[in-house]
Amino acid sequence: MKMRVAAALASVAAVTLIITGCAGDGSSNTSSSSRYINVYSGNPGNLTNNFNPFATDVAYGANGAILGAVYEPLFYFNSAKNEKPQPWLGTEYTVSPDGLTYTVTLRDGVTWQDGKPFTAADVAYTYNLIKANPAINLYGLKIAEAKAVDDTHATITLTQPDYPNEYRLLGLTFIVPEHIWKSIPDPSKTTNQKPVGTGAFDFGQFTPQSVTLTANKDYYQQGQPGIPGIRLVTSTGNAAALNSLNAGQIDWAGIALQDVQKSFVDKDPKYNKYTSIPADIKVLMPNLSKAPFDDLAFRQALSLSIDRDAIIKQAFGGTDTPANPTSLLQPRDEAYIPAAYKGKTLDQDIEQAKKILTGAGYSYDGSGKLLGKDGRPVTFKLSTVTGYTDTITANQLLVQDFAKIGVTATPEELSLGAYSTARQNGTFDLLDDRIPTGPNPFQQFSDSLDSAKSAPVGKPANANFVRFDDPTVDGLIAEAGGTNDPAKLTSAYQALGTYFAENQPYIILSQNGAVTTYRDQYFTGMPTTENLWATPSNWLSGNIGYIAKSLKPVK
């Protein structure tokens, strides 16, 4: 099976900043030709001086945007479209008939940002480094070995077929320089404060409030990058970011707005633009290691108590859409939705919720408070990140909905660091979060349900933060990962979707209509709703570099 490939991606996003600086460093009062593009990190609070591409909290945090501009993967997978991967460091690849060996052809004439030549030896080193160090295997890659055939050809051999995971194998794994990383004693612990990659932007300066990147003058693609640099900025939350965006200080963000047309586009219709695409599934993450969340009946009742239409309109700006109970993304995954769930959504039914609870052994006291099976009132914390105005609003509405079935939930706002730590270590009650997806459903099922990606409470998990564990589901995920047969893949996805709908290991809120806001006053070339040549969302670390290198200053 031969797959030819053609270009690459990037994106970024979302919430508040303070910009200072002089001409040429990204300030908003410079000419287009010398102006850096100002990007909001999407994560409130200070930035950390850590650019390790193998660290979960870096790759999925604010600094992931820097990783994607400095480092590059082999190919780009556009999750906004169901299309073949596009070339990046690699130009094409073939897969052996047994699905075990990937042979990759690499670009010739590429150099690392320190001037050293990039070769297939660096590719082989990167994958072998991941194999030898399970702590940096963020995506559970099943690597047996990697070899350099010659300077422009490498092979990556797996221990078992893993077709749907190609996205992460080839599209999310950043290639690192062997001549630098071979001297690092523990790749999982290094902070890598001066990253060196093959990307279109060189690492510049770090402060807790911003990171600057400058154009790589020796970049291998002629005419790129077209802009002099990137300035990643931090913020305090959505409201402040919106103010900075409307003031022309931010050029690119992904701010969650209650009314993007009124609060942003209408403020400056000439330059203020946005895209919104179904990106992933917004969910509540219940801690399945503790009561009452370990009880299916309670999760079902909690789900039935939610007025999702109100949350979509009042908290998520009306750009989200109702989700299918299977968690399969619509319309992209329509072919995989089981017949019993075609066209289905999740509706509020307070009386049915109460009926389920009392039938499962819960009861009510004289004041209408729900009592658990231990006879105590059911109370818990519902957590989100400080400054995330959309989920803060959603949680306020959820607290009111839960009260309708006698449940007392207390909204809690945590710093991004505290939230991430609680999620990874399983020290939470209920989180307002999301299940990320890729160009197919495999990532969302694997990351949300694969027991191998979880960890005991108190130890950090790479994914599956709810601590879900079911050998049958693990088998279905392995089945989906081990086949390239469309019929078998459909069968596995339908079974996984059915399980998700019937057991609700996560409580679905909506289908995320990911909003990306940007201003084209100084730059042109952003992906648009009409031309999604790349995914403009900001949650994956590879996105910003490719889009940014393709942008051009307004003349």
Cβ 399 vs Cβ 284: under 8 Å: no
Residue range 170-191, pLDDT digits in tens: 999 999 999 999 999 999 999 9
- Say if residue 120's pLDDT is above 80: yes
What was the pLDDT predicted at 23?
Answer: 34
What was the pLDDT predicted at 546?
Answer: 87
Please state the rounded mean pLDDT for residues 386-410. Answer: 96
Q: What percent of the chain has pLDDT over 90?
A: 74
Closest CA to 327 of 447, 481, 500, 82: 500
Integer angstrom CA distances of residue 334 from 4, 38, 338, 406, 483? 26, 37, 9, 36, 20
For residue 402, the one-letter residue type is F
Residue range 140-174, pLDDT digits in tens: 899 999 999 999 999 999 999 988 889 899 999 99
> Would strands 201-207 and 101-106 be described as parallel, antiparallel, or unpaired?
unpaired
Q: How confident is the model at residue 433 (pLDDT cuts 50, 70, 90)?
A: very high
Q: How confident is the model at residue 4 (pLDDT cuts 50, 70, 90)?
A: very low
Three-class secondary structure of residue 423 per DSSP:
helix
Closest CA to 25 of 242, 244, 241, 211: 211
What is the chain's percent helix, strand, coil content, to nearest 5? 30, 20, 50
Please state the rounded mean pLDDT for residues 261-274. Answer: 94
> Would strands 229-233 and 507-519 be described as parallel, antiparallel, or unpaired?
unpaired
pTM of the model: 0.78
Mean pLDDT for all residues in the chain? 90
Integer Cα distance of 411 and 106 in angstroms:
50
Bigger pLDDT: 14 or 60?
A: 60
Residue range 463-488, pLDDT digits in tens: 999 999 999 999 999 999 888 899 99
Please state the rounded mean pLDDT for residues 67-96. Answer: 92
Q: What percent of the chain has pLDDT over 70?
A: 93
Please state the rounded mean pLDDT for residues 538-552. Answer: 84
Cβ 276 vs Cβ 318: under 8 Å: no
Which residues, at least 6 apart from 540, have a Cβ–Cβ distance to it below 8 Å? 11, 64, 68, 79, 172, 436
Cβ 463 vs Cβ 447: under 8 Å: yes
Ranges 6-20, 78-92, 395-409: which has the least confidence: 6-20
- Superfamily of the domain at 278-513: Dipeptide-binding Protein; Domain 3 (3.10.105.10)
Integer Cα distance of 490 and 199 in angstroms:
37
Q: How confident is the model at residue 30 (pLDDT cuts 50, 70, 90)?
A: low
- The token pair at 214 is 């400058």
Integer Cα distance of 67 and 195 in angstroms:
8
- The token pair at 218 is 């020796």
Cβ 141 vs Cβ 168: under 8 Å: yes
CATH assignment of 2-199+520-553, among 3.90.870.30, 3.30.420.40, 3.90.76.10, 3.40.50.620:
3.90.76.10
Q: Please state the domain extents for the chain.
A: 2-199+520-553, 278-513
- Say if residue 10's pLDDT is above 50: no
Please state the rounded mean pLDDT for residues 42-70. Answer: 86
- Say if residue 22's pLDDT is above 70: no
Rg (C-alpha) for the chain, rounded Å, is 23
Integer Cα distance of 246 and 250 in angstroms:
8
Residue range 279-320, pLDDT digits in tens: 789 999 999 999 999 999 999 999 999 999 999 999 988 889
> Would strands 379-385 and 430-435 be described as parallel, antiparallel, or unpaired?
parallel
